[in-house]
Amino acid sequence: MKLAFQLAYKNLMGAGLRTWLNVIVLSFAFVLIIFYNGLIDGWNKQASVDGIKWEYGYGQLRHADYDPMDPFTLQDAHGVLPGASSQSLTPVLISQATIYPQGRMMSIALKGIDAKQATLKLPTNLLSESKADIPAIIGKRMATSLNLEVGEEILMRWRDKNGTFDAANITIAGIFDSHVPTIDAGQIWIPIDELWQMTGLENHATMYIAGAGYEYKAAPGWKFESQKSLLQELTDIIEMKKVSGSIMYGLLMTIALLAIFDTQVLSIFRRQREIGTYIAMGMTRWQVVSLFTMEGSMYSFMATILGAIYGIPLLLFLAWKGIGMPAASQEMGIIVADRIHPVYGLGLVLGTVLLVVAASTIVSFLPSRKIAKMNPIDALKGKLQ
Amino acid sequence: MANENIITIKNLTKRFPVGNGEFTALKEINLGFEKGEFAGIVGPSGSGKTTLLNIIGSLDSPSEGQAIVMGKRISELSHKESAMLRNKYIGFIFQVYNLLPVYTVYENVEFSLILQKIGAPERKKMVMEALEWVGLQDMANKKPSKLSGGEGQRVAIARAMVKKPMIVLADEPTANLDAKNAHAIMQTMKNLNKELKTTFLFSTHDEKVMSYLDRIIYLDDGKVVKDEMITHKTESR
C-alpha cells in the first residue's frame, strides 16, 4: 500500500498539467458539495431555531378538532384545558375575522395570545403596554401588504360564539419582523383577554404553546404535536431542496469522475510498456492494478488538500458573512432568513471527503481491472489495443 | 555449485494461436544453463529466441514440456509465484530499456529493491554500488529522458543487477546502440558476470554481442540447430 502510494504520487506528479486539471475540477466539486450542503444545513438550522422561537415553542397542544390546514374547523375547535394555567402552557385562541383596510376587504386569522407570555418571541409586551381599546400586533409582511403603520386603526369584523357579527376598530400597537410567514401573513395578534370578551369564549383556546418545562400528560379532546413533529414538515421541504440541489453538484462530480476515468483509460493504454516492466520486475498484476487505482484515488486526496487550501477560508468567510436571499424568497411561505449562514458539520465534511474518495477510487479501479488480464509480453511490446 | 543447472528446458514446445490454426514458435527444445554462464540464443527474426527468453523469465509458459528455473516449474506457477520468482531471481534487460519515465535514474534502479522490501539505508548502498558498476554514479538524479541511449541501457543493466539476481535475461540489449556503446555495455555485463557469477542469457543476432559470449545456441524455425561453447583467445578486449 505504501509502495503503491509512493509510486502513484510520483506518477501523478510526473503527469503534470493533466493531473492538476483533474485535481482542480474535483476540488471544485468537493468544495461546492460542502458549500451547498452547508447552506441547506444552515437554512435548516436557522429555520428550526426561528420556527421554535416564533411559532412552535416546545410543542403545541391542539384541540382535537383543530386542523391548521382547514379554516372551517376554527368554528368549533376550541375548549378549556383543565389546569392549563398551572402548567407551562400559553393559550392561543384562533378565530376568523375580516378587516377593511382602505376600503378593501380581507379575511384574516385573528389570534388571541396571552400578552404576558414569554414562550414565543412575539413582542406581546406591546399589547399590554398599549393604551388602545383593542391593540394588535402584525408581522412585517402583513404590514407591507396592507400598507399599515404603527398607531393606525383598522376596522375589523368578527363573529362571537353564537355566530353574531360584531365590529370595532383595532389599533396597530407594533409590527414585528420575523422570518416565519405562518405567524405573519394574513394574521393579527391581539390580547387573548380581549378576544375572549369579543367572542364570549372565556378561557377557551384553540391550542396551547408548550414552554420549556412542559411535560405532556394525555388530555381528552386535545392532541399533542411535539416540537420534532412540528419541524418535520419544514425539514422535509428543506431536504427536498437538498435533493434537487444535489443534481447540480452530482453533474459536476460526474464531469470530474469522467475526467478521471478517461485519464485512467488513456493512461493504461499509453503506459503498457511501463505496466509490462512492472510485471517483469516482479510486481504481481494486482499490485499493478492497485498502483493504477491508487493513482486515481490520489486525485481525490490531492483535491481534498487543494480544496482545503482555498475552500476553508472561502467557506468560513461565507459562513461568517452569510448568503443574501432574494426578497422573493420571503414570499415562498416557508421560513427563510434574509441572509443564510452556512453550517459545515464534521459529518458533512468527512462524508463529502469519503464520497469523493470512494467515487474516484471506483472509477479508477474499473479501467485498471484490464491490467489483470493483460499479457505482460504484449504489454512490454506496447501491442495491446 | 559450479555445475548446478539453474535453468533446465525439457522437450519444450510453444504454440501460439494464429487465426483458426496454431503457430509453433518452439519445438521440443532441450537445454540446460549453469550458474555463471554467459550465453546467447542466436537466430533470425521469428526463430523463437524471445519466446524462449520469455518462458525462462516466467512471463510466458510452455505449451508442452518443462521449463524449470531455480527449481520451479514455470508451467505450474501462479501469477503471484512467477512474480516472486522474477522479483527474487531474475533481472530483465530490454531492447528499448523500458526505464520508468517519471523516476530518476536512482529511483529506477531502486525500484526492484523496494519490491523486495529492503530497508532504505541498505537500498541506498545497493543502488549506489549498482550505479558504480555501470559508471553512472553522477547521474543518479537525472530523469531517463536526459540520458543518451548508452546511458539508458547502462541504467537498465544497473536496475537488473542491483538485486544481484541469479539470472539476467537480455533481449537484444544492443539493438538500439552504436558500436562503441554496444561494446561498452557488453564489457560491463561481462565484468559483472565474472564478478558476481550471475548467469547472463542473451537473445541476439548482433555479431558484437556474439563475440563476447561463452556459449552460443543457434535457433532456427523454433529448433536448436547448434549449441557450441566458445573459447576466447584473450579474456580482456
Kindly write down the DSSP assignment for every residue of A197-240, as one continuous string. HHHT-TT-BSEEEE-TT------TTEEEEEHHHHHHHHHHHHHH
| Cβ of residue B176 closer than 8 Å to a chain A Cβ | no
pLDDT at A17: 85
Question: What is the H or E stretch that residue B9 is in?
Answer: strand B5-18
Nearest to A284 among B59, B79, B103 (CB): B79
pLDDT at B97: 87
What is the tens place of the pLDDT at every residue in B160-219?
A: 999 999 999 999 888 888 888 889 889 988 998 999 899 999 999 888 889 999 999 999
pLDDT at B70: 95
Question: What is the nearest CA distance from A293 to chain B, expressed in angstroms?
Answer: 18
C-beta separation of A242 from A44 below 8 A: no
Nearest to B83 among A10, A277, A283 (CB): A283
Chain centre to alpha carbon of residue B30:
19
pLDDT band at A108 (very low <50, low <70, confident <90, very high): very high
Phi and psi for B11 in degrees, rounded to 5? Answer: 45, 40
Sketch the domain layout of chain A as residue ranges.
2-52+233-381, 60-225
Buried b (16+ CB within 10 A) or exposed e, A23-39: bebbbbbbbbbbbbbbb
**Residue whose grid cell is 543457434:** B218
**Which candidate, A377, A375, A383, A279, places its Cα nearest to that of B52?**
A377
- Would you call A282 and B54 a contact, using CB atoms and an 8 Å cutoff? no
| Cβ of residue B110 closer than 8 Å to a chain A Cβ | no
pLDDT at A93 over 90: yes
Q: Using a CB-CB distance cutoff of 8 angstroms, which residues of chain A are in contact with residue B168?
A: none
Report the residue of chain A nearest B79, measured CA to CA: A284
Distances (CA, A) of A272 to A322, A374, B58: 51, 9, 18
**Residue whose grid cell is 374547523:** A73
| Cβ of residue A326 closer than 8 Å to a chain B Cβ | no
* Mutate which: B56, B111, B176, vs A, most A CBs within 10 A: B111
| Rounded (to 5) percent helix, strand, coil in chain B | 35, 30, 35
Nearest to B86 among A6, A282, A380 (CB): A282
- Would you call A281 and B112 a contact, using CB atoms and an 8 Å cutoff? yes
SS3 A326: coil
pLDDT at B84: 94
Q: Using a CB-CB distance cutoff of 8 angstroms, which residues of chain A are in contact with residue B146?
A: none
Average pLDDT over residues A130-157: 92
Task: Indicate the average pLDDT of chain A.
Answer: 88
Give this complex's ipTM.
Answer: 0.91
- Would you call A14 and B102 a contact, using CB atoms and an 8 Å cutoff? yes
Q: Using a CB-CB distance cutoff of 8 angstroms, which residues of chain A are in contact with residue B159?
A: 281
C-beta separation of A189 from A127 below 8 A: yes
* Mutate which: B81, B100, B104, B108, vs A, most A CBs within 10 A: B100
Distances (CA, A) of B186 to A65, A269, B153, B202, B211: 101, 33, 11, 11, 9
First-residue to last-residue Cα distance in chain A: 29
Distances (CA, A) of A136 to A43, A111, A261, A332, B39: 30, 10, 64, 25, 108
A1-10, A84-93, B19-28: which has the minimum mean pLDDT? A1-10
List the alpha helices (DSSP H) in chain B. 49-56, 79-89, 105-115, 120-133, 149-161, 179-196, 207-210
pLDDT at B1: 44
What is the tens place of the pLDDT at every residue in B84-111?
A: 999 999 999 998 889 988 889 999 999 9
Question: What is the nearest CA distance from B76 to chain A, expressed in angstroms?
Answer: 16
pLDDT band at A331 (very low <50, low <70, confident <90, very high): low
- pLDDT exceeding 90 applies to what percent of chain B? 70
- A–B CB contacts, 8 A cutoff, strictly below: 62
Average pLDDT over residues A105-117: 92
Nearest to A274 among B92, B100, B115 (CB): B100
- The residues that bridge with A129 in the sheet, in sequence order, are none
Q: What is the pTM of this model?
A: 0.72
Average pLDDT over residues A22-47: 88
Nearest to B102 among A10, A280, A380 (CB): A10
Nearest to B79 among A10, A273, A285 (CB): A285
Cα–Cα distance measured from residue B69 to residue A321, given in angstroms and rounded to the nearest whole number: 71
Question: What is the nearest CA distance from B143 to chain A, expressed in angstroms?
Answer: 11
Question: What is the nearest CA distance from A353 to chain B, expressed in angstroms?
Answer: 28
- pLDDT exceeding 70 applies to what percent of chain B? 97
pLDDT at A212 over 80: yes
What is the tens place of the pLDDT at every residue in A261-300?
A: 988 898 888 889 999 999 999 999 888 999 899 988 898 9
pLDDT at B87: 93
pLDDT at A330: 64
C-beta separation of B194 from B237 below 8 A: no
pLDDT at A126: 93
Cα–Cα distance measured from residue B140 to residue B107, given in angstroms and rounded to the nearest whole number: 8
pLDDT at B237: 46
- Would you call A281 and B101 a contact, using CB atoms and an 8 Å cutoff? no
**Residue whose grid cell is 419544514:** A234
Buried b (16+ CB within 10 A) or exposed e, B111-123: bbbbbeebeeeeb
**If you write DSSP's letter for every residue of A252-320 in order, what string do you get?**
HHHHHHHHHHHHHHHHHHHTHHHHHHHHHTT--HHHHHHHHHHHHHHHHHHHHHHHHHHHHHHHHHHHH
Name the region of A384 (left: φ>0; alpha: ψ -120 to 50; beta: rest).
beta
pLDDT at A145 over 80: yes
pLDDT at A88: 85
Report the residue of chain B nearest A9, measured CA to CA: B102
Q: Using a CB-CB distance cutoff of 8 angstroms, which residues of chain A are in contact with residue B116?
A: 282
- Would you call B83 and A282 a contact, using CB atoms and an 8 Å cutoff? yes
pLDDT at A85 over 90: no
pLDDT at A337: 79
More confident residue, B38 or B185: B38
- Cβ contacts of residue A58 below 8 Å, gap of 6+? A52, A119, A210, A211, A212, A214, A227
Q: Using a CB-CB distance cutoff of 8 angstroms, which residues of chain B are in contact with residue A277?
A: 92, 94, 98, 100
A153-162, A232-241, B211-220: which has the minimum mean pLDDT? A232-241
